[in-house]
Structure 1
Amino acid sequence: MEASKLGSFFESFHVGDVIEHSLSKTIFESDNNLFSLLTMNHHPVHLNADYASKQHHGKILVVGTLVFSLVVGITVPDISGKAIANLNYESVNHLHPVFIGDTIYAKTVILEKRESKSRKDSGLIKVETTGFNQDGTDVLKFTRTVLVKKAQS
């Protein structure tokens, strides 16, 4: 039996590579409720079916930061499993609403790669990740820079 691999070393990333992440998650009502409670986001459009039915989308919306957190998590085995740190997140764009019962998938493009100036044992990768639903509709897109360990230092 082969041990599971968590993440890749800096040397494994190549600019232009597209990673289609194998993890996915269907968002259940309990996920949305718990996340809303944990993060103190009690807006009724996320928790009150009657209220949400009278709003623009006509049903409960999943909290946007839950979608963001989920997509980041989906990428961990492939992108940041060997990371020393996520240095920044930028350009977080919510592209389409997410509803209870949607299944979220993700893919990542390697945008940039460079040696770390301050740490000889690591390098930086800049990636753009897109989260999409079961219909292939993009729901979220963001970029981030990750400090990743080298296999050889």
Structure 2
Amino acid sequence: MEQSVLGLYFEDFLVGGEIKHSLSKTIFESDNNFFSLLTMNHHPVHTNIDYATKNQHGKILVVGTLVFSLAVGITVPDISGKAIANLGYEDIKHLNPVFLNDTIYVRSKILDKRGSKTKSDRGIIYVESVAYNQNGIDVLSFKRKVLVKKKNHE
């Protein structure tokens, strides 16, 4: 058996290339509750069934930053497994609501890449990721820049 490879090198990313990430995650009530407690987001739309049923969606909404965190995590094996650093996130959009027991999938597109201006052993990739649910409905999108190692420099 061969060891699995975590992440891609800078040279492996192709501008315009798309990745359909293999990981996915069903969001359970316990995930939402723990995340709400951990992040001190106690808004009742995330934790109170009675309150949630009387509001816009009629059921508990998953905390948006949990969906964002999961989407980033799902991309790690492909996008940032060989990263030196995530340089920044931008243009984060909550496109549609996420509910308990929804399953999150992610696809990413490489928008741009360039070598580092100061160090030859690394480069920056610019990527857009879109999270979608089990019904193929986009629920979240974001862009980020990632500083990634180049081959033969480890």
Per the shorter chain, which TM-score range?
Answer: over 0.9
Aligned equivalents of 1:42 and 1:3: distance in 2?
42
Q: 1:5-20 counterparts in 2 under 5 A?
A: 5-20=5-20
Aligned equivalents of 1:26 and 1:105: distance in 2?
9
- Alignment match, 2:132: 132
Aligned equivalents of 1:152 and 1:15: distance in 2?
21
Q: 1:70-149 counterparts in 2 under 5 A?
A: 70-149=70-149
State the secondary structure of the residue aligned to 1:56.
coil
Deviation, 1:27, is: 0.3
TM-score normalised over the length of structure 1? 0.99
Deviant stretches of 4+, over 4 Å: none
Question: Which ranges of structure 2 fall in alignment gaps of 5 or more residues?
Answer: none
Write the deviation string for residues 56-83 of structure 1: whole angstroms up to 9, x where unpaired: 0000000000000000000000000000
Aligned equivalents of 1:119 and 1:42: distance in 2?
44
Aligned equivalents of 2:14 and 2:142: distance in 1?
19
Aligned equivalents of 2:18 and 2:4: distance in 1?
21
Deviation, 1:12, is: 0.2
Identical aligned pairs, as a percentage? 69
Write the deviation string for residues 72-125 of structure 1: whole angstroms up to 9, x where unpaired: 000000000000000000000000000001000000000001000022110000
Aligned equivalents of 1:127 and 1:64: distance in 2?
20
Pairwise CA RMSD of aligned residues?
Answer: 0.5
Write the deviation string for residues 6-56 of structure 1: whole angstroms up to 9, x where unpaired: 001001000000000000000000000000000000000000000000000
Question: Which ranges of structure 1 fall in alignment gaps of 5 or more residues?
Answer: none
Q: What is the count of residue pairs matched by the alignment? A: 153
Matching residue's letter, 1:133: N
- Alignment match, 1:39: 39
TM-score normalised over the length of structure 2? 0.98
